[in-house]
Amino acid sequence: MTDDDLILAGDIGATKTNLALFERASFPKKVLRETKYKNREFFGITDIVASFLAEGREKPTLACFGVAGPVRNNRVRMTNLSWLIDGRDLAHRFTIGKIFLINDLVATAMGAPLLGEDELFPVNAGKKDPMGNIGV
């Protein structure tokens, strides 16, 4: 495994942030390591990412964070925090090739198709439609 094969993924909410590191080949099934942080203990997401990266020797080249708030131009002002997060600034600060910021609800919907049948619970039985809507 090389650092080119590493993805940093995160869920940045109002009260906590969860970060995890994955190998690209096994994403999203195999987590290399993960850490949960209480946002109130940090000044911003930069401090949390710095703490996570300092815990190991890995150097991800790609990152994606689901964030609680509307994302525009890879930037978000957190809904319930005074944090302004800019994906380009974070990528530059940590020399990560590309960081994508997406809304946390969008992240949940995008992850739904990656779940196995044993990880799903039908609310209403129906016929699967690959072009249909996703309920999460």
Q: For residue 135, what pLDDT is reported? A: 67
Rounded Cα distance between 113 and 125, Å, is: 17
- The answer as to whether 115 is a domain residue is no
- The answer as to whether 51 is a domain residue is yes
Convert the pLDDT of each residue in 27-42 to its tens digit: 777 899 999 999 999 9
- Tally of domains in the chain: 1
Nearest to 13 by CA among 105, 112, 134: 105
DSSP string, 39-74: GGGSSSHHHHHHHHHHTSS---SEEEEEESS-EETT
- The answer as to whether 52 is a domain residue is yes
- The answer as to whether 49 is a domain residue is yes
Say if residue 136's pLDDT is above 80.
Answer: no
Neighbours of 126 (CB within 10 A): 9
- The one-letter amino acid code at 43 reads F
Domain CATH code at residue 66: 3.30.420.40
Q: Which stretch of DSSP H or E encloses residue 46?
A: helix 45-54
- The answer as to whether 128 is a domain residue is no
- The answer as to whether 132 is a domain residue is no
Q: Which stretch of DSSP H or E encloses residue 92?
A: helix 87-94
Give Rg (Cα) of the chain: 16
Q: For residue 2, what pLDDT is reported? A: 55
Mean pLDDT of 12-36: 91
- The answer as to whether 56 is a domain residue is yes
Convert the pLDDT of each residue in 47-102 to its tens digit: 999 999 999 999 999 999 999 999 999 999 998 899 999 999 999 999 999 999 99
Which domain does 36 fall in, by range?
3-110
Q: How many helices (H) and strands (E) does the chain have?
A: 3, 8
Rounded Cα distance between 2 and 79, Å, is: 36
Q: Which residue has the tokens 């590309």?
A: 98
- The answer as to whether 67 is a domain residue is yes
